Structure 1
């Protein structure tokens, strides 16, 4: 609830839930009685493990160190301290968004967090409900696939499927019915989906500008969470 994960399908790593449940069990923690400080420690650990991808390719020994570090830090009310130094932001611009990937899920969850900070509780709740019910089907391309075929540079197709297709029969508010919602930039993008007058070059320019914004926002967030864990 605190990091607005709509369902287990949105978790970047199943390890995160298992390790957290294990810590609660061993330390006899009732999650309903978590303090704000404890919630912040967990949230920072969640974002750190998601954005640094520390479980990807980790050996059994490294996973054990991550578990031991988290348990020790949580027990002592300290933010997670990683056992390796991390200095670079590994987020390639030719990354292909795929709902099964860690990168895609962490981006969705982080921008959902930013969305919640700018919208009312009810608006956030509706978007979370849409994601919860529809999962990967909530997301669709900004441009039609036939248009994407015209773009040679892989850079552009990789950023063209990050819109929520906000169609939900249980929601009656116009903003959520038969429209597209840009979760990542907090606005509607219906114009790009309906206007046939927009040249492909203009669409490419839009995609590039949008991706650069997303890239820089996540880069700053990565820097912040790494700094906390030092």
Structure 2
């Protein structure tokens, strides 16, 4: 990718990126030359690389190889990695069903929104980290945001509060999925998990951590990823006020 010199590029202007984008290949197409590839193809290739190899694998050279294009020709579509990430985030946001029927129970509907976000992030493990760098909202992201705001309409909250709740919910899901993926990787090492359990048991029995000892002695709760996420989500949303 090009080095970021800190200056603005057309791709970073959200109006240019999402509304007025017209790469040179499209201009040539109007003159009778069909472009060899599209922004959609570039974005799809980048997402596929990130899904299988992580964000570190997403470079202009790798993406160009995937679509059979020259590296330099891609810069009219995505002048830097930040812009490509914006395109990738909005691309996978298109998988979220923005037109799903709402029940009218805002807590139920908001929990559904969160479960949809979690499933999307698990399909694309690079997404939670990428969201922290997002600078603008593309059309697919806006469509899902519109759906989430509609789910919050029965609360009577003002627009700013509803936007804050959606941002808080998205941050929670991203953080939880990051932890979930880390825990899943750690589960591949049973010896490490057993060692951690022995350590906590020893600490809890030393007499200096009575609260921890009581917590560890409590009946175990279902530890499947789905059940754990649902419990955490319930605590978050059930605690949201409406004033």
TM-score for both structures, normalised by structure 1: 0.26
- Looking at CA atoms only, which structure, 1 or 2, has the larger radius of gyration? 2
TM-score for both structures, normalised by structure 2: 0.25
Bigger RCO of structures 1 and 2 (CA < 8 A, at least 6 apart) = 1
Structure with bigger strand share is 1
